[in-house]
Amino acid sequence: MTRKYFGTDGIRGRVGDHPITAEFVLKLGWAAGKVFGQSAKGRKLILVGKDTRVSGYMFESALQAGIIAAGVDVELMGPMPTPAIAYLTRTFRAQAGIVISASHNPFDDNGIKFFGGDGFKLPDQVETEIEKYIDQPIVTAHSEDLGRAHRIEDAAGRYIEFCKGTLPAGFNLDGLRIVLDCANGATYHVAPNIFRELGARVIRTATEPDGFNINKDCGSTSPAALQRAVKEQRADLGIAFDGDGDRVLFVDHKGELVDGDELLFIIASHRQRVNGCNGVAGTLMTNYGFELAVRELNIPFVRTKVGDRYVIEAMREKGWQLGGESSGHIVCGDLTTTGDAVVSALQVLRAAVQTGRQVHELKKGMQKLPQRMINVRVGRKIVLDGNQAITQAVTRAEQALKGSGRILLRPSGTEPVIRVMVEGSDLGLVENLAKEVAVVVEKALQ
C-alpha cells in the first residue's frame, strides 16, 4: 500500500524541510485526532512523548494544537523512551500514542512515530487514513467540543516500575558495576534509576542532554567512548542505548562490543534452557552465525525484511515471543509490544546473573561469521530479478561458499545503492566474493 508521508517507521526528515515543519505537524496532529477520535467509545485521548532534541518543543506544541482542534484530549509526557509511550498508551487506555523522535539520527533530524491503542505500531491502512485527512483543510471543533491538554507528572515512575516488573520477584543486580550510556537521549532520567534500584553500581555517561548532543559521539551508534570507559572504570560491562531508547548494545568486561545478534542469542539460548524458546525472528541482515547457533539449539528461525515492524509481524504471525535486529532493536513479545532497550538489557542481565556467567562468555555460544558489505551506487531504480549476469554471479558465489555462508543483494531503502553482502567462515573468500559480485552488479546496472 503506497503512502505519501509514512515510511517504515513513521515520518522522519530534517527539521525545517517538508514534512518535518511546524505547519505540517500541526496538520498531522489534527488528522490523527480525526482518525482516532472516530474510534473512541469513551474519552478521546492521545498520549504524546518525545526525545531530547531541541525541536521537540516546537513539534510537541504543534501536535497538541492539532489534536485539540480535532476534539481529542492530549496527555503530555515530555522526554520519554519510545517503548515507554507504547506501554503507557495501553495502561491509559488511550486510542493512540505519538512519539516525537528521529531515534538514532543527529539532533537536526526529527520524526513522528505512532502506536495504536494496543501498543503496536499502526497498520498500513490506518496510516493511509491519516494521510487522507492531511490533504484536507483543518476544521476546528466547536469550542465546547475542543480537547484538553494535561501533563502526566509520574510517567517516568510508571515506566521504571514496569521495567523492573519484567524480572522475577527478588531478582537483583547486586555487585555489578555497570557503565550506562544513555546517548543524551530519552532514557537519561529513567535508565540509571532502573539499574540502580535493582542493586547495580551505575556509572553514568551521556546523561546530560542539551537539545543538541543527542547521539553525538555516544550511544549505541558510537560505542567507542563506552568501550574506553568500561576498561578505565574496570566495570563488569557497559550498556549503550540510542536516542529514543529502543536499541541497545553491550560492551563486555574486556571492552569488546556485543551487538544485537549476540544479545538476541544470549536471551534466546537462556530461555531455551529454562522454559523453552518456540522461535526467533531476525532480518535479512542477521548474521549467519546466529542462524547456525540457534539451529544447534533446535530453535526455529525466520528472516524478514529489514525493519522492526516486519520482525514483529513475523512474531505475531507465528506466535513467537522473541525477535530482533543486528542494530540492537530487540523485541521481547511476552513482555512488551515493541523494541525496548531497557527491557532487552535486563533480559540479557537475567541470563548472566542466573547462569553465573559473564556476558563475554555467554556471547561465545554464537560465532559471528565474517561479513563484507559493498555498496554499489546506482542512478535509478533497479530491478535485480531476472538479470542473467547478476544471477549467474550470485550462483557462482553460493557454490564457492559450499553451504557455509550466504550472499544477499538488497536495494537500500534510504539511498541510491545496491548493497552486496557476503558472509562465510573464510574471511579471504568472503572478501573476494563480495568484490567479484559487486563488479558484476556495477557493470550490469550501467
Q: Which amino acid is at 376?
A: V
- Predicted pLDDT at 411: 82
From 193-207, 339-353, 369-383, 389-403, the region with the lowest mean pLDDT: 369-383
- Predicted pLDDT at 408: 92
The residue written with cell numbers 489534536 in the block is: 67
- The backbone torsions φ and ψ at residue 321, rounded to the nearest 5 degrees and listed phi first, read -110, 0
Most confident of 28-32, 36-40, 436-440: 28-32
Confidence of residue 385 (pLDDT cuts 50, 70, 90): confident
Confidence of residue 410 (pLDDT cuts 50, 70, 90): confident
In this structure, which long-range contacts are made by residues 276-282, counting pairs with CB atoms below 8 Å and at least 24 apart in sequence? 277/321, 277/322, 278/319, 278/320, 278/321, 279/318, 279/320, 279/322, 280/320, 280/322, 280/323, 280/324, 281/311, 281/314, 281/315, 281/318, 281/320, 281/322, 281/323, 281/324, 282/311, 282/323, 282/324, 282/325
3-state secondary structure of 248: strand
CA distances from 428 to 59, 116, 280, 293 (A): 50, 48, 30, 22
- Predicted pLDDT at 381: 58
Q: What is the mean pLDDT of the chain?
A: 94
- The backbone torsions φ and ψ at residue 209, rounded to the nearest 5 degrees and listed phi first, read -65, 140
Residue 325: which of 304, 346, 356, 352 has the closest Cα?
304
Residue 317's contacts (CB-CB under 8 Å, 6 or more residues apart) are none
Checking if the pLDDT of 417 tops 70, the result is yes
One CATH from 3.30.360.10, 3.40.50.2000, 3.40.50.300, 3.40.120.10 for 258-365: 3.40.120.10
Q: In the predicted model, what is the mean pLDDT of residues 143-167?
A: 97
Q: Which fold has domain 11-153?
A: Alpha-D-Glucose-1,6-Bisphosphate; Chain A, domain 3 (3.40.120)
* pTM, 2 dp: 0.92
How far is the first Cα of the chain from the last one, in angstroms, to the nearest whole number? Answer: 30
- The backbone torsions φ and ψ at residue 74, rounded to the nearest 5 degrees and listed phi first, read -125, 130
Top CATH class, 371-445:
alpha beta
- Predicted pLDDT at 383: 64
Checking if the pLDDT of 445 tops 90, the result is no
Is 404 labeled as catalytic in the residue annotation? no
Residue 192: which of 183, 210, 184, 180 has the closest Cα?
180
Summarised one tens digit per residue, pLDDT across range 257-266 is: 999 999 999 9
Checking if the pLDDT of 140 tops 60, the result is yes
One CATH from 3.40.50.20, 3.50.50.60, 3.60.110.10, 3.40.120.10 for 159-257: 3.40.120.10
Question: b/e string for 29-42 if b means 16 or more Cβ within 10 A?
Answer: bbbbbbbbbeebee
> Which residue spans of the chain are classified as CATH 3.30.310.50?
371-445
- Predicted pLDDT at 388: 87
Summarised one tens digit per residue, pLDDT across range 328-375 is: 999 999 999 999 999 999 999 999 999 999 999 999 999 999 999 999
Count the alpha carbons within 13 Å of 291 in the hemisphere toward its beta carbon: 18
Residue 294: which of 317, 315, 323, 314 has the closest Cα?
323
Share of the chain above pLDDT 70, in %: 98
Identify whether the C-beta of residue 435 lies closer than 8 Å to the C-beta of residue 421.
no
From 171-180, 334-343, 413-422, the region with the lowest mean pLDDT: 413-422
> Which residue spans of the chain are classified as CATH 3.40.120.10?
11-153, 159-257, 258-365
Q: Which residue has the higher pLDDT, 66 or 446?
A: 66
Summarised one tens digit per residue, pLDDT across range 81-125 is: 999 999 999 999 999 999 999 999 999 999 999 999 999 999 999
- Predicted pLDDT at 416: 76
Choose, from 55, 103, 220, 344, the residue flagged as catalytic. Answer: 103
- Predicted pLDDT at 260: 97
What does DSSP assign to residue 151?
E
Checking if the pLDDT of 80 tops 80, the result is yes
Checking if the pLDDT of 136 tops 80, the result is yes
Task: Let me know if 49 is exposed, middle or buried by CB neighbors in 10 A (0-12, 13-18, 19+).
Answer: buried
Q: In the predicted model, what is the mean pLDDT of residues 48-64?
A: 98
Confidence of residue 169 (pLDDT cuts 50, 70, 90): very high
Cα(1)–Cα(156) distance, rounded to whole angstroms?
Answer: 36
